[in-house]
Amino acid sequence: MTTISDLTVAGMSCAACVRRVEHALTQVAGVESAEVNLARGTARIKSSTKITPATLIAALQQAGYDGSVEAPTAPRERFPWLPVMLAAPLLINMALMLAGSPVMLSGWEQAAIATPVLIFGGAVFHKRGLQALRHGAATMDLLVVLGADAAYGLSFWRLAHDAGSMDLYFESGALIIALVRLGRWLEAKARWQTASALTALLALRPDQARKLVGGQEIMIQAKDLRRGDLVSLRPGERAPGDLAIEQGEALFDLSLLTGESVPQRTQPGDAIPEGAINLDGDLRARVTATGDATRLARIVQMVTDAQGAKPPIQHVLDRISAVFVPLVMLLAVICAAAWLAHGASWEQALVTAISVLVIACPCALGLAAPVAIMAGTGVAARNGILIRDPAALEQAAKIKQVAFDKTGTLTEGKPALTTIIGDEASTLRIATALSRGSEHPLSRAILARGDAAPACEGFRAIAGQGVTGQIDGVECALGNQALLNALAIDATAFAAQAKALADQGMSVSFATRAGRLVGVLGFADHVRPHAAAAVAALQRRHIKVVMLSGDHPAAAQAIGAALGIGHVLGGLSPEQKLQQLQAMKADGPLAMVGDGINDAPALAAADLAMAMGSGSDLAIETAGITLMRPDPLLVPAALDIAIRTNHVLYQGLAWAFLYNLIALPLAALGHLTPLVAGTAMACSSLSVVLNALRLTRWKAG
């Protein structure tokens, strides 16, 4: 049995750190794999046996990093006041020097300012750099330490030999420390913004609840509620768990859970998820789930998993980053040797090597993918779109075809029994008796209309066809044309009437008794308000739209025509849906959209499964993308945010590679000073994060 453990890891600064942490954790006996997310500062460990957190934390500490079981919180990195304020006079002095001003700091004054910056402001880099050396690792902190200390040491050596020398690099050493510290603080703040959706979801949980005991209200901690407890909910209060309303009506705000801005009217029997806000009613409700079992908890866990997982390309980048820093250090040595071989002074050779060390930080390379994934999945969750993992996100960006189920997806899935042809009393009696054992939407419509009915024995549901059973000892059946064909029952007597109902877009069922057709039932289901707009939006993207339905072909065609879908297939069994999907996949990546109740085989066969969250809870657990409100417009919206997220991810990677491709040769040729190199390096990482933050302004529709 695989055990999953989550740790918060402190002290990571670049992709090389990610590789080292993963290596350290996988060396622990029993650990099967470890995935580290640099942007969130977390590690997910899968092990074949139960491993204590203390053992894993000890492995991290041996590698030079700190770990804890606490969930990641707002960035602990404080604003670097000391290095920034002390480095400011050095920056002003450099500007005066470039302007040819006679008023400048002396060499010893520069040294007096730069020294505390390196000692106190750079303490974190020295500590982590020494730890990296002790463990034979090469990290970003080591590059910063080597660059800043070399610039400082060279300047001090020159000053000691010539007190009047102004060819110094104190400002470079100090500003490298100040800029990197400032850049990391900005990155930490910006990265945390990408996780704001998860923070908002966690904040939905109320601390207290009004439990009803013997008709009296008792205020207790919400975490102490148990399934089956009766609670009172007043206007303005949040649901303290998943609830089923027993008394009262109210409007509920579900916007943070589903992205739906319009409040939902509820009544007795309706389910309310944890965190929903009661706007105007005084309710009594039964607790159906608490703690980790609530829908809110599962949503939070899904978003957490998606943000912590790595896209396929990240594994390649981690391998590149593992050797990148050692190669940069080797390149710095080669550059210094080349300059010396061409007659340059050792000071010039050292300055060039410093610039190479500082410019080649792999931070941007390590941040590009995780910050884009965090921003994209976070903003999608705020808009009611739950993306299960980066693989689903990547697949969604490639979709060329979308297949929709009809009932519960393009229609509201709440059909009403409107027409009965034949012996109405007998037909309704048979239909009601057989429907008691079924969860199908048509069965619920029959039960809403039917009166008392006799018991049904030997009940059997036939997937894609209907149900059968014995009523008063006589074999009866309720289902579609496929069921009649399977039972060899002649439907000629009502064929014309059934076709007329289907041509109007109605779903049609047949009731039989003792092998004879008794009557026909017609069900009207309303098309969802935004279904036509969703189809049009997909078609504008040149995405092929198909409807696959188990309903009567004529009914499916009528709904398809109303929505502008040209390719409609009705009367399909679950097996036939699978065959159609497998054939369609030859024309390009395919997404299947269903309600997650009876579409499981079709959803599993598609390249990407998209399930309406209004369906079963199983949909949330298994679909690649879950749409938390039953709005078909979320389908093109999900594809849109997937495409945008992938664009941002690859833009970040392109920037990281292009930056090093241009900057490293310039530094090696002596065209970049250590100060300019440090500034460029900090800006590189920050630009990747800020580019990803553009996603947080996205809105569905």
Per-residue model confidence as pLDDT tens digits over 315-370: 676 667 667 777 888 888 899 899 999 888 888 888 888 888 777 765 666 677 77
Whether 216 is in a domain gets the answer no
| Final residue before a domain boundary, out of 11, 45, 68 | 68
Whether 294 is in a domain gets the answer no
**238, 255, 375 from 248: Cα distances, Å:** 16, 21, 39
Cβ pair 630, 528 in contact under 8 A: yes
- Is residue 463 domain-shared with residue 601, that is, in the same domain? no
Q: 11-25, 410-424, 429-443, 526-540: lowest mean pLDDT where?
A: 11-25
Whether 215 is in a domain gets the answer no
- Is residue 362 domain-shared with residue 459, that is, in the same domain? no
CATH code for position 559 = 3.40.50.1000
Higher model confidence: residue 142 or residue 410? 410
pLDDT score recorded for residue 53 = 87
Res. 381 pLDDT band, cuts 50 70 90: confident
Whether 409 has a pLDDT exceeding 60, the answer reads yes
Q: What is the pLDDT of residues 248-287, one digit of tens each?
A: 999 898 876 776 667 888 889 888 889 889 998 899 999 9
- Is residue 90 domain-shared with residue 150, that is, in the same domain? yes
- Is residue 532 domain-shared with residue 513, that is, in the same domain? no
Instruction: Please indicate whether residue 405 is annotated as part of the active site.
Output: yes
Strand partners, 474: 471
Whether 45 has a pLDDT exceeding 80, the answer reads yes
| Final residue before a domain boundary, out of 524, 558, 583 | 524
pLDDT score recorded for residue 427 = 93
By C-alpha distance, which of 396, 410, 399 is closest to 543?
A: 399
Cβ pair 184, 77 in contact under 8 A: yes
Q: For the chain, give the mean pLDDT.
A: 83
**Residue reference for tokens 């993306």:** 387
**All residues at 6 or more sequence positions from 457 whose CB lies less than 8 Å from its CB, including other chains:** 469, 470, 471
Q: 129-143, 461-475, 502-516, 531-545: lowest mean pLDDT where?
A: 129-143
Sign of CA dihedral 639, 645, 647, 649: negative
Distance CA 398, CA 543 (A): 10
- Is residue 319 domain-shared with residue 192, that is, in the same domain? yes
Higher model confidence: residue 104 or residue 211? 211
pLDDT score recorded for residue 269 = 86
DSSP label of 238? B
**40, 117, 346, 368, 650 from 654: Cα distances, Å:** 22, 34, 35, 9, 6
Whether 305 has a pLDDT exceeding 60, the answer reads yes
| Strands in 338-400 per DSSP E | 385-387
- Is residue 285 domain-shared with residue 136, that is, in the same domain? no
CATH code for position 29 = 3.30.70.100
Q: Give the count of beta carbons closer than 10 Å to the beta carbon of residue 529.
A: 11
Distance CA 413, CA 406 (A): 8
By C-alpha distance, which of 341, 362, 353 is closest to 669?
A: 353
Q: What is the pLDDT of residues 470-524, one digit of tens each?
A: 999 999 999 998 899 999 999 888 999 998 998 888 889 999 999 999 999 999 8
Whether 255 is in a domain gets the answer yes
| Final residue before a domain boundary, out of 43, 68, 93 | 68
- Is residue 115 domain-shared with residue 156, that is, in the same domain? yes
> Hey, what long-range contacts does 188-193 have (CB within 8 A, 24 or more apart)?
188/75, 188/77, 189/75, 190/371, 190/686, 190/689, 190/690, 190/693, 191/39, 191/40, 191/75, 191/367, 191/371, 191/374, 191/689, 192/74, 192/75, 193/693, 193/696
Res. 314 pLDDT band, cuts 50 70 90: low
- Is residue 390 domain-shared with residue 520, that is, in the same domain? no
**Residue reference for tokens 């491993």:** 51
Whether 651 is in a domain gets the answer yes
- Is residue 554 domain-shared with residue 654, that is, in the same domain? no
Higher model confidence: residue 132 or residue 268? 268
pTM (2 d.p.)? 0.71
- Is residue 427 domain-shared with residue 462, that is, in the same domain? yes
By C-alpha distance, which of 185, 121, 111, 176 is closest to 144?
A: 176
Res. 616 pLDDT band, cuts 50 70 90: low
DSSP 675-689: HHHHHHHHHHHHHHH
pLDDT score recorded for residue 685 = 72
- Is residue 283 domain-shared with residue 309, that is, in the same domain? no
Domain around 41: 3-68
By C-alpha distance, which of 562, 639, 635 is closest to 409?
A: 635
Whether 602 is in a domain gets the answer yes
**pLDDT > 90: percent of the chain:** 24
| Catalytic position from the list 242, 318, 405, 631 | 405
* 197-211 mean pLDDT: 78
Total tally of structural domains belonging to the chain: 5
- Is residue 169 domain-shared with residue 257, that is, in the same domain? no
**187, 605, 678 from 322: Cα distances, Å:** 21, 37, 21
